Amino acid sequence: MTKEATNTMTRLQTLQSSVTWYHVEFKAEILLDTYSGLLSEQSMILAMNSSFVDPLMQFESQLKIIELSFRKVFSIPSLSTVKAMGRTPEDTEDLENLYQNIFNIFEDTLLILVSKDFYKIQILKEMATWMSEDSQYQQERAMMVITRVLIFASKRVKKYPSIDAPCLGLLAAELSLFCSHNDPEIIQQAMAGMNYVLYIALCQNSNVVKFRSSKLSEEESNIKVIMSGVESLTKMTQGEKTKIAQSVGQILLPQLLADFVWTLLKKLSSPNNKMAVEAASLLKLTVEFHAQKITRVSKIVEDIYEQLSGNPSPMMKSVMLHVISLLTRASPKKVIFQLMEFPVPADKTLLLLWQAASMESSVASDVLKTILLILKGKPGEIEETLGEKRRFSLDATNMMPVAASQALCTFLPVTSYGKVVVKLFPEFLMALLLQLSYCSQHLKDTAQDRPLYVRDALKALLNCSGLEEVDKALERKNFWDQFSQVMDHQYGIHLIAKTLSECNFPQFPETLHYVYKIAVEGPRRSEDSIVTIIFFAELLNNFFKESLPEEFLVLFRNWINDSNPSVGKMSLQKIASMAPVFSEIESVCNLLLPILDAFLSKEHTVIIRAMLTLRNILGKLDKKIYSSVCIRIASSYSPLMDHVNSGIQCMAIRHFGELLMDMNHYNWMLKHIILGSLVPLILFLESKETRIVNACRYTLTICVTQLKWSTAYLLKEETYNFESVVLDICNNLLSSYESYITDLISDTLGFLGSSRDFLKKGAIILVGYLGKSGEHLLLRDEIDIMIEVIERLTQVEDPLIKELAAKTRKLFKEIANRMSSSTIQHTFRKWIKMFRTKKLKLIYDVANIITLEGNEIEIIKEDNLIESSLETSEKPYRDIKENYVNEALNTI
């Protein structure tokens, strides 16, 4: 080598030595900065610990500082690298001491925090999470720190067993995954940490049997207590994950075990494939052994749904579905409720979860009962079921019952579920019929396809219950296709019940028993009664052709009087359709009375339906039974004969006449009812509605015929005259039933205040004739009252009413004047009247009054015409007008 080359080499070595020393100096400076920074951060953390800041805010602030410290501390080079920096043994020793002090300060900070507040052991869980997120950190060193802090915590918890550590489940899950690490040192530290975590949990769990410690050291004793039958956790980390899962499940409290499971579940979506696989393995084992102990099942199910929606690997998908199956086996109600809370219609992910849940045949009964419980709910409604508050979605679009309908299509085809549903057939059938009603009524505008879920569920129920024949029969009736259209749900329920009956379905006895049971207990909602009535009545109508058991009669009586008018109307409608059956019941009178009570309903449609139902039953009723209630029925029609609704009025009048025809052999029983109903029948002969006039003529003809009066011919259209009818009836009353006259006068006076002119006119005429015919029966005070009432009508604008009122007032005053004579004379006249009745004659001659009024009108018209002409003529023509008017008036 030349001298020049030698010099160059020397310069290079010198330069390299200086660069190396500079690099060493730089790294040593980093250590010093880290050390000084830790001291500063420790001061801040401990200062916060002594402050009066909110504990949660304090912890969050401290955690942020600790995270910064963690990332600096565990990012520094390894100890061997630091030792290599020293140029002399003294430098190496100083660097090593600085290095150890850095970790000691970090560890001391954690120990101080945990000693002051045991809750802050949660920091260790966060450290394990940071380690798993980045493998570049010194994981062995970090695990050593975690273990040492846990050793300290285990000694503290032994003295104070009531200390609360809610993060133990999360920490145990993080450490359990490090037990499968590639580095044996990390495995050893992680397993030691697991020992102490479980020991702390053991001290908190009063239900776990604590074993006595032997003469072993305290640390060894702690580990042995945790293992309780397992040789050592070090050995388990070599593949015995089953024992790890068993130990965790036995020792952790339920809420901590739920945290453990939930953390492992989250790790399934980790980008670290090895960690995800280990988490999956440990998760399956833990759930398999301890599923019944896990709480917050709904949260776990929801998390699985979200992860499956993210399209995980086939292996992870299989693990999550297996977990669903295991959770369903342990907590079927919790899992099913959560599965029903997901949006409708079910997506592919939810269908997978339903299928996974259906795999557990051992809980088929519990699963179906839970679905049934949900099906009994109403879409959009918040409920409390079985004393337990369920978290139904709070918005109006809660569709859990609809989801349950769709879920049945997944569960029922499974063999084990098909066997169980046979026992629950009546309950599922009625629940689905209610859903059909809800979907048809309340979801028309929001979801056209939702009734289809009910349809599919009904088809599945029929087929798995051995009722394929019913399914085909409904298919032939085009029933299933109508679900996609706007179908009347009441017709649908009727058709299902009818088809089941036609096919003689074998479940009839238990179905009838169940429907009767819910009818007796009362529905959850009043509107549910309508579905029950339709289905129940159709079953009875098809299977009971002659008579019904007495118990069923009570149900219909209660339904008639239901507070919901729709329920009462539907009940009456079904009674009418079953009239031949009801009329054969011995105590049918007990049913008739509630029907008569329905006449008093505020709902006009209920009254009309009650009258129609009553006629249907009466037409088939035994005459002997009929006669026992005819008086009550007849008197119930009377208040309706002047009802404000013309349809009800007309029907009541006609039905009253039909009742009299039915009871023509018992008319002696009804004479007082007939006489008491004369006033409205007479007055409404003058109604403006033809149907009411015809009804009155029809019924009044029957009345006078049964009273053996000759008035019937006057009611014929060709001979009809209102005043003649009134005159004839009053003459007959005077000769045969004069004791009723005063009551009829009272009834008539009530119509004088009517707003309808034809009633005022008719009432004036009728009260005049009644007063004249019964003057010997009236008291002076009664006459004075009648005069006072009539006096008011003399002030009305209608000239005919005014004229009639004036005549009636004059008539009553003459009667009153005759009463003013001596008492002896008045008594004598009264006795003469009783023994010598004199027929009345026309008082008003209304036809002539109307003619006179017509002539006056014509005169007024002519008068106006002449006056108009005279305005444009000369004065001589005014004389012509006066002569013309005088001549016309003389003629009148």
Query: pLDDT tens digits for 20-52?
Result: 434 445 556 777 888 888 888 888 988 887 777
DSSP annotation string for 164-184: --TTHHHHHHHHHHHTT-S-H
Q: pLDDT value at position 449?
A: 58
**What is the predicted pLDDT for the residue at 498?**
92
Among 70-84, 217-231, 455-469, 827-841, name the one with the lowest average pLDDT.
217-231
In the structure, what pLDDT confidence band is assigned to residue 160 with cuts at 50, 70 and 90?
Answer: confident
Task: Classify residue 836 by its DSSP letter.
Answer: S
Biggest CA-to-CA distance, the chain = 179
Q: Is the pLDDT of residue 215 over 90?
A: no
pLDDT confidence of residue 643: 94
Per-residue confidence (pLDDT) for residue 503, from 0 to 100: 92
Q: What is the mean pLDDT of residues 337-347?
A: 90
Q: Tell me how far apart the alpha carbons of residues 566 and 572 are, in angstroms, rounded to a whole number.
A: 10
Per-residue DSSP letter, 841: -
Looking up tokens 């000759």 gives: 710
Residue 234 has pLDDT above 90, yes or no: no
**Is 90 exceeded by the pLDDT of residue 213?**
no
The HSE-up count of residue 318 (CA atoms within 13 Å, CB side) is 5
Res 584 pLDDT > 60: yes
- Indicate if the pLDDT at residue 306 is higher than 60: yes
| Mean pLDDT, residues 80-108 | 79
Task: State yes or no: pLDDT of 325 exceeds 60.
Answer: yes
Listed range (114-118, 387-391, 740-744) with the worst mean pLDDT = 387-391
In this structure, what token pair is assigned to residue 566?
């729709």
Distances (CA, A) of 709 to 591, 634, 729: 36, 20, 8
DSSP 863: H
Which DSSP helix (H) or strand (E) runs through 645? none
Which pLDDT tens digit goes with each residue over 763-778?
999 999 999 888 888 8
Q: Produce one character per residue of 442-459: b if its CB has 16 or more CB atoms within 10 Å, e if not.
A: bbeeebeebbbbbbbbbb
Determine the pLDDT at residue 554. Answer: 87
Q: Which residue would you say has higher pLDDT here, 820 or 770?
A: 770
pLDDT attached to residue 7: 45
- pLDDT score recorded for residue 794: 86
User: Is 80 exceeded by the pLDDT of residue 372?
Assistant: yes
Model pLDDT, residue 244: 81
Q: How far apart are CA 249 and CA 670, in angstroms?
A: 85
Which one has a higher pLDDT value, 351 or 775?
351
Mean per-residue pLDDT, 431-440: 86
Span 416-426, mean pLDDT? 92
DSSP string, 357-393: HHT-GGGHHHHHHHHHHHHTS-TT---EETTEE----
What distance in Å separates the CA atoms of residue 363 and residue 480, rounded to the nearest whole number? 31
Q: What is the mean pLDDT of residues 691-698?
A: 96
Running DSSP on this structure, what letter comes out for residue 710?
Answer: S
Summarize the confidence of residues 213-220 as an average pLDDT.
40
User: 630-685 pLDDT, tens per residue?
Assistant: 999 999 999 999 999 999 999 999 999 999 999 988 888 999 999 999 999 999 99
Q: For 472-518, what is each residue's pLDDT tens digit? A: 999 999 888 877 665 677 888 899 999 999 999 999 999 999 999 99
pTM of the model: 0.75
Which pLDDT band, with edges at 50, 70 and 90, does 595 fall under?
A: very high
To the nearest whole percent, how much of the chain has pLDDT over 90?
A: 39
In terms of pLDDT, which residue wins out, 390 or 606? 606
Q: Is the pLDDT of residue 384 over 50?
A: no
Which of the two residues, 387 and 432, has the higher pLDDT score?
Answer: 432
What band does 588 get if pLDDT is binned at 50, 70 and 90? confident
CB-based contact 435:524 (threshold 8 Å): no
Q: What is the pLDDT of residue 872?
A: 40
pLDDT-derived band at 869 (thresholds 50, 70, 90) equals very low
CA distances (Å), origin 308, targets 173, 282, 285, 304, 331? 21, 19, 20, 6, 21
Per-residue confidence (pLDDT) for residue 777, from 0 to 100: 84
CA distances from 362 to 49, 194, 289, 368, 425 (A): 54, 35, 16, 12, 19
* Mean pLDDT, residues 603-630 taken together: 92
Does the pLDDT value for residue 864 go beyond 50?
no
C-alpha distances out from residue 516 to 169, 510, 537, 539, Å: 51, 10, 11, 11
Q: Is the pLDDT of residue 89 over 50?
A: yes
* Mean pLDDT lowest among 226-240, 520-534, 574-588: 226-240
pLDDT over 60 (residue 77): yes
Least confident interval from 134-148, 236-250, 704-718, 741-755: 236-250
Q: Is the pLDDT of residue 206 over 70?
A: no
pLDDT of residue 836: 46
The Cβ of residue 803 has, within 10 Å, a number of other Cβ atoms equal to 18
Q: How confident is the model at residue 540 (pLDDT cuts 50, 70, 90)?
A: confident
Q: Is the pLDDT of residue 422 over 80?
A: yes
450 pLDDT tier (thresholds 50, 70, 90): low
Predicted pLDDT of residue 180? 82
Looking at the predicted structure, is the pLDDT value of residue 700 above 50?
Answer: yes
Question: Under a CB-based contact definition with an 8 Å cutoff, are residues 591 and 582 in contact?
Answer: yes
Task: Kindly indicate the confidence band of residue 87, based on its pLDDT and cuts at 50, 70 and 90.
Answer: low
Q: pLDDT confidence of 837, banded at 50, 70, 90? A: low
State the average pLDDT for the chain: 81
Q: Strand pairing partners for 389?
A: 384
CA distances for 652 relative to 514, 519, 594, 638, 759, angstroms: 39, 32, 17, 8, 18
More confident residue, 450 or 591: 591
Q: Which residues contact 513 (CB under 8 A, 6 or more apart)?
A: 426
Residues 98-126: tens digit of each pLDDT = 888 888 999 999 999 998 888 889 999 99
CB 106 within 8 A of CB 69: yes
